[in-house]
Amino acid sequence: MNSIEDRLRAWADKYECSAFIKNDPIQFPHRYSSKQDIEISAFLTAWISYGNRKCIVKKAEELDVMMGHSPYDFIRVGGFLSWKDDQRSFYRFYKYSDLYALCSRLQTIYVQNEDLETALLNLIEMDPISKLQMLFAGIKGIPVLNSNSACKRLCMFLRWMIRQNSPVDIGVWKNISPSCLLIPLDVHVYNKAIELGHTKRRSQDRKTAEEITSCFDLLFPGDPARGDFALFGEDINHTSQ
């Protein structure tokens, strides 16, 4: 393979496979079949996705057990209410009271909407990332609307929900185009993008995520976030050797 484009296509084919799931946080929403369970599991898992994948998976497993392996029922009946003023550490800089605030917001969303996708579709016309920032405004870990944050965790959640016909991503949302997705900008994606010349920017921010994503618009027409598998997969495979 001579061209960067050929290598990127090969890497995407190599890493976007069902084997990817077992070591990735996406394994948790994959456990469920109902749309609401998938959405809630995915959003909470993405919300805690700081640090290396082993730590994230360990905490996400703990959270799944806490929810009784039934995320929608847990949110619907208020299984989180005892955490309202709980100042114990939950994960990294999150406290249980922060988890309460997020679960409470999710409960309100599901009281008012059939599912989270419907809640987004009911908002004014703007990109899906901004809609999530609006819905979850004030929740710790959710970047402020109109900031230059790359919104890595929100982008990852949206990739999981929106991309269709993938052996990894779930694609339970049918009414939002994958063409609007941004690549989740984590350190692996950024390092590989720098190496390949997809960006020269030194800030891992929204503009950098947009610049890297734009490089994949022609390579994967209508589905630029597929480039995430190529960059993330190849860099983490290389660094783990």
Residue 239 predicted with pLDDT over 90: no
Burial group, residue 104, by CB count within 10 angstroms (0-12, 13-18, 19+): middle
Cα dist from 197 to 127, 215, 230, whole Å: 27, 10, 14
Amino acid at 187: V
Q: Cβ contacts of residue 234 below 8 Å, gap of 6+?
A: 11, 15, 192
Q: Half-sphere exposure of residue 31, counting CA atoms within 13 Å on the CB side?
A: 19
pLDDT for position 125:
84
pLDDT, tens only, 175-231: 999 999 999 999 999 999 999 999 999 999 999 999 999 999 989 999 999 999 999
Q: Mean of the pLDDT values across residues 72-94?
A: 97
**CA–CA separation, 187 and 181 (whole Å):** 18
Q: Could you tell me the two tokens for 198?
A: 């997809």
Residues contacting residue 54 through CB under 8 Å, at least 6 positions apart: none
Mean pLDDT score across all residues of the chain? 95
Q: Which residue has the higher pLDDT, 241 or 223?
A: 223
Q: What is the pLDDT of residues 59-79, one digit of tens each?
A: 999 999 999 999 999 999 999
Q: Under a CB-based contact definition with an 8 Å cutoff, are residues 38 and 172 in contact?
A: yes
DSSP string, 133-194: HHHTTT-TTSPPTTS----HHHHHHHHHHH--S-SSS-----SS-GGG------HHHHHHHH
Share of the chain above pLDDT 90, in %: 93
Look at residue 235 in the predicted model and tell me its pLDDT: 86
pTM for the structure as a whole: 0.95
Mean pLDDT of 94-122: 98
For the range 3-12, what are the long-range contacts, defined as Cβ-Cβ under 8 Å and sequence gap of 24 or more?
4/196, 4/197, 5/219, 8/196, 8/216, 8/219, 8/227, 8/230, 8/231, 9/219, 9/230, 11/229, 11/230, 11/231, 11/233, 11/234, 12/220, 12/226, 12/227, 12/229, 12/230, 12/233
Q: Say whether 197 sits in a helix, a strand or coil.
A: coil
110-133 average pLDDT score = 96
Q: What integer is the mean pLDDT of 158-167? A: 97
Instruction: Say what the pLDDT of residue 241 is.
Output: 42
